A = this chain, B = another copy of it.
């Protein structure tokens, strides 16, 4: 799974019928050492109700269809968790409550 921040949204009116009603979030991958964005973006489906600015991790590949929201849908990236804490090499690099 990959750490990222929710940085935007993507809206489409003409799309594959199976993804009607799905919300598409724009994610920016982050470096866990600094929590800074890596200027590397992707569009993800969301199984957990993530909001703007939140740190999440998403799953790729066939596993991105294995959530309540994305079952049977053509996804290759789905947010499966909103992150509360990241600890790296003994340091608390991220606390959601402290943001």
Interface residues of A (CB under 8 A from B): 1-3, 7-19, 24, 26, 31-33, 39, 41-44, 47-49, 57, 59-68, 72-78, 80-89, 93
Q: How many of these chains are in the complex?
A: 5
Minimum distance in angstroms from A60 CB to a CB of chain B: 5
Q: Are B14 and A89 in contact (CB under 8 A)?
A: no
By the criterion CB–CB under 8 Å, are A74 and B84 in contact?
no
Cα–Cα distance between A85 and B12 once the two chains are bound (Å):
7
Q: How far is the CA of A79 from the CA of B33 in the complex (A)?
A: 21
Given the known interface contacts A1-B24, A76-B59, A78-B74, the answer about A67 and B16 at a Cβ–Cβ threshold of 8 Å is yes
Tell me if B64 and A74 are in contact (CB < 8 A).
yes
Scoring A43, A64, A73 by chain B CB atoms within 10 A of each residue's CB, the highest score goes to A43
Distance between Cα atoms of A62 and B11 in the complex (Å): 23
